[in-house]
Amino acid sequence: MTSVTAYNIAVPDEQLQQLRQKLDHTTFPNELDASGWDMGVPLLEIKRLVDGWREKFDWRPGSFLEATKLIPLLTKSNRDGPVFDVVAPSLPNFGFSQGVKKRGFGLAQAVIQGGDWGSMIARTMSQYYPQHTRAIHLNFIPVMPPYPWRSPYLFIKSLLCVPFSAKDRGYIARTFEYFTRGNAYMKQQETRPQTLGYGLHDSPVGLLAWIYDKMRTWSDKYPWTDEEILTWVSVYYFSTAGPVASTRIYYEASAPKRAGGAYVSEDSAQEDLLEEADLNYMSLEQILAARAPQSVRFAVAQFREEIIMWPIAWYRSIGDVVQETEYDHGGHFAAWEVPDLLVSDIKRFLGNNGPAYGAVAGRDGY
């Protein structure tokens, strides 16, 4: 395995000074009386956060974010189950990571855990590298409905289960609420990320509102502190490739492959890697519709306030699902909101009494 070297996040003082100057000269829009969160982030919330960003927040984070609550729970030896060697990659062009230049981490076999884009990447890995991807744990599971030509058994079962249970109806209602009122950001980012990028790159307040809106509405009443909010936003604002670079993943995943690899945002490195490995480009739609090889075992954990939720039986269309769990709290950021619950679910999946115990040959975590 490639040796690990420490990376210290260092934001130049001139960038911090420029941020403060921009915050000093912010002009705010008005808002309708008593609109609350119905039309987006309330003005008073943004003004409070801007004041804190400018006057109180000394941003010197020591590590990347969402996985940081999980890592100590997964790597610390205790009696609650296996311990793990953890690789928590920052996606290319997110935060302080660079673009893709080479393949892999030097691991012959691995178990993958993912939410949000990590979920999509994990499922892609099961298609490209099933011999290396031994098991997958997901806490975000977008799927296509069980069509008869793809999953005839699930299709027939879904018909027999109509009407759905109250819980399943709640899942479907929340999903349709997201698709009708909550995913305009996705349409913008998958069609015109560059146009959006001018505002996100130049305006720290615009970026703050864009990200905080999702942090608040996608979580399950999690008590976000101002420091947490500003740290998350600052990672994007001071990111190596700029905040717009991370929006292009939506375009790249949804756009059909073009001649010359135009779907790649920075260079042709990703396409070169696919060609080198004799792999075909998969769009997001293809990933969602694909079923993993039977050798890859899956666990799915569904948290109450996730943005996309279906009847849990539908998830069996993604592959060999051997563990299914529904939780009555937690949201889209489960790794941050309820890390203990998520880690417990992972350890139950891979522990010595779990359905994926021994997934990695010779490395059971005990």
Q: Is 340 one of the catalytic residues?
A: no
Q: Which of 116, 168, 220, 345 is catalytic?
A: 116
CB atoms within 10 A of CB 10: 9
In CATH, the number for domain 19-27+38-94+108-255+284-350 is 3.40.50.1820
Model pLDDT, residue 244: 85
Compute mean pLDDT per 10 residues along the chain, 366 residues long, and list them: 72 91 95 90 96 84 67 84 86 74 71 94 92 95 72 59 80 92 92 93 96 96 95 90 86 64 47 57 81 95 96 91 97 96 96 93 86
Residue among 126, 131, 130, 159 nearest 145 (CA): 159
Among 212, 222, 263, 315, the active-site one is 263
pLDDT for res 188: 93
CA–CA gap between residue 156 and residue 162 (Å, rounded): 10
330: enclosing H helix or E strand: strand 320-331
Please give the Cα distance from 208 to 190 (Å, whole number).
20
**Cβ-proximal residues to 35 (8 Å cutoff; 6+ apart), any chain:** 42
Token pair 């779907």: residue = 263
185 is catalytic: no
Residue 332 appears among annotated catalytic residues:
yes
Q: Give the C-alpha separation, 142 to 282, whole Å.
A: 16
List the Cα angle 180/181/186 in 5-degree steps. 85
Phi, psi (rounded to 5 degrees) for 162:
-75, 130
Domain ranges of the chain: 19-27+38-94+108-255+284-350
**Tell me, what's the pLDDT at 265?**
44
Residue of 137, 220, 327, 332 marked active site: 332
pTM score over 0.85: yes
Q: How many CB atoms lie within 10 A of CB 288?
A: 16
pLDDT of residue 218: 96
Token match 């939720």: residue? 309
What tokens appear for 85 in the block? 């060697």
| 3-class DSSP state of 68 | helix
Stated length of the chain: 366
Q: Tell me, what's the pLDDT at 342? A: 97
